[in-house]
Structure 1
Amino acid sequence: MKLPAYATALTAAALLPFVTGAAVRSAELPSVNMEVTVKAAQIDPRRADDTLTPGAKGSVLLVERALKDRRLLDKKWVDGYFGSETVAAYTKYQRSLGFTGLGTNGLPGKKSLVKLGAGRFRVTNVIEPGTRASTGGFVLNARTRSMLAEAKRLLGRNLVLEQGSYNPGGDPTSAGTHDGGGVVDISVKGMSAATRTVVARELRRVGFAAWVRSPAQGNWPWHIHAAAINDTDLSGQAQHQVGDYYLGRNGLANRGPDDGPKVTIRTWEEYKRR
């Protein structure tokens, strides 16, 4: 039965205080900036000291306090530094939610972070990898596809993939970096040394930690390796590469100095806001 107009108006008016009150309470909660929190979770475990990731302390503290209250993180590690102890605690929290696989990689994904913050904090600057699909015979998520498309636009040329993300079987030459999302290997066939450097530079510009790899560095042919910064599906190994990139290293096991083109380091989201 359809209610009269005046009855509908009265019902809406009666509910308004409750709706408004909920909205106000949510707005009054402190906020966790997901972008800087995820960035800290990649960089901090790779540091040789306890320097905090710029802009991340407040958000990381809120996450750590919530983990402590769940008895997953000792009080002494509640310091705004998303180091290995906090990553391990976040992994335990993800498992407590029933997550498996990449869902327990220690990086705060949207679902787990929102659940952790229920009644405690609200999540801003949300990052999502998006849906997975085959591109050129390789599986990539939507965020990675968008990043590659922008790099191609800047370069004015196509980029041919040699390896994609979500590696189902594991590749011994990639040391697990391709087992998660956000990581690709790009063919350099037909490229001069100068062109290879230009491609790596534009990949870095849009938010990849990218390096030109040579046979002298490992059991692989010449190629460009790129890991999407802040992809919340990154494998643990790829997370370490991103952290090393921020710290001026080459992303290899020897943790040598970065040998790639120098650019302002940005995430994909930061690039789009520039």
Structure 2
Amino acid sequence: MRKMAFAAMFTALSGAALTGTMAAGQAAAAPSVNMEAVVKAAMWDPYKPDQSITPGSGDSVKVVEQALAAKNLLDGKQVDGHFGTSTVTAYAKYQKSLGHSGLAASGLPGTGSLTELGKGRYTVTAAISVGSKTTMDGQTVNKRTADMIKAAEQRAGVDFTVTQGSYNAGGVGASGGTHDGGGAVDISVKNISNPTAAVKALREVGFAAWHRTPSQGDWVAHIHGIAISDTDMSPQAQAQAGDYFKGLNGLANHNSDDGPQVKKVTWEEFKRG
């Protein structure tokens, strides 16, 4: 009898230990959300003609969408890994529920809101930081943008002069709001003998960039750049990044891209490469 009782107790303890181990394993297996992948999808997906998934982003986007659906901000049928317009709208509603407004509630995920949304559901990895504001040639940019420009200068072998920076709401009417938030810059071409090479260098480090000429609009010749995946970006700048991914010129006419063709990357991808 003692042997049977001992065996029963051993079985019970072993079962409890196994259950505890399984529970710990399940807790450790809580999903993670790769912020780089989510933000890249938010840059690209809303402007696609289809519901295709941005490579490498589907799993993380789906976890974010599940969290939005759990808060009744997104219909369950939209939980598909595609960060399209419905997900943008849902995420903007979530940002507003946190008390955000303006560019902070545009539907583009930032580190703070993405982390808050994930409480009890997921952890955030590969967080993007745009850094504090600084100046280049007297123009305001954030640290991430400044670092990108410096890297492009090294690749192009020229010194860039920034003529319009970021966070310049209403500053230049012809810009159409693209410079209202972060990540947007205009660069002079006066001392650049090969603007195409300069645009290529900017694209290689993670800018959506184009050489703008007077024939295209009411401006002097310059290079216009949008730092892809800048989380402070204005909706107008996001639309230009979307055009870039689609192979367009980022202008109102949505003509074909007239710039040098490179592998489209973010700043973070460039640094790893």
Same fold (TM over 0.5): yes
Corresponding residue of 1:91: 92
Q: Which residue of 2 aligns with 1:119?
A: 120
| 1:49 Cα offset (Å) | 1.2
Quote the residue 1:12 is aligned against.
Answer: none
**Is the 1:66–1:116 contact (alpha carbons within 8 Å) kept by the matching residues of 2?**
yes
Say if 2:58 is the partner of 1:38. no
Is the aligned partner of 1:103 residue 2:118?
A: no
Whole-Å Cα distance in 2 between the matches of residues 180 and 42 of structure 1? Answer: 15
Q: 2:266, 2:192 → 1: CA distance?
A: 26
| Aligned counterpart, 2:199 | 200
Q: Comparing 89-98 with 74-83, which one deviates more in the overlay?
A: 74-83
Counterpart residue number, 2:137:
136
| Cross-structure match for 2:57 | 56
Distance 1:24 1:166 in 2: 45
Structure number with bigger Rg: 2
1:272 aligns with 2:253: no
Do 1:64 and 1:86's aligned partners in 2 also have CA atoms closer than 8 Å?
yes
Query: Mapping of 1:154-193 within 5 angstroms?
Result: 154-192=155-193
TM-score (norm 1): 0.88
Q: Partners in 1 of 2:261 and 2:27 — Cα distance?
A: 42
Matched length: 250
Q: CA RMSD in A?
A: 1.5
What do the CA deviations read for 1:144-175 (whole angstroms, capped 9, x no partner)?
01001111122222100110000133422011
Given the superposition, is the C-alpha separation of residues 26 and 142 from structure 1 closer, same or farther in structure 2, using an over 3 Å criterion? Answer: farther
Instruction: Please give the per-residue CA displacement for 1:23-45, whole angstroms capped at 9, x wherever unaligned.
Output: 98774211111111101111111
Q: Structure 1 segments of 4 or more deviating over 6 A? A: 23-26
Q: CA deviation at 1:266?
A: 0.9
Q: Are 2:218 and 1:224 aligned? A: no
Kindly state the Cα deviation for residue 201 of structure 1 after the two structures are TM-superposed. 0.3
Aligned partners of 2:170 and 2:177 also within 8 Å: no
Deviations 1:127-151 (A, max 9, x none): 0111012221111001001001111
Q: 1:247 to 1:26 in 2, by over 3 A?
A: farther
Residue pair 1:26, 1:122 contacting (<8 A) in 2 also: no
SS at match of 1:185: strand
C-alpha deviation, 1:98, in angstroms: 1.0
Q: Any residues of structure 2 matched to 1:224-243 within 5 Å, and which?
A: 224-243=223-242
Range that drifts further, 169-178 or 88-97: 169-178
Provide the rounded CA distance (Å) in 2 between the counterparts of 1:24 and 1:207. Answer: 38
Change (3 A) 1:25 1:159: farther
Give how far 1:190 is off: 3.6
What is the deviation of 1:241? Answer: 0.8
Q: Given that residues 105 and 233 in structure 1 are in contact (C-alpha distance below 8 angstroms), is that contact kept between their aligned partners in structure 2?
A: no
Q: Secondary structure at the match of 2:99?
A: coil
**Aligned residue for 1:10?**
none
**CA distance in structure 1 between the partners assigned to 2:36 and 2:93 by the alignment:** 21
User: Unpaired segments of 5 or more residues in structure 1?
Assistant: 1-22
Alpha-carbon spacing, 1:77–1:156, altered in 2? closer, same or farther (3 Å): same
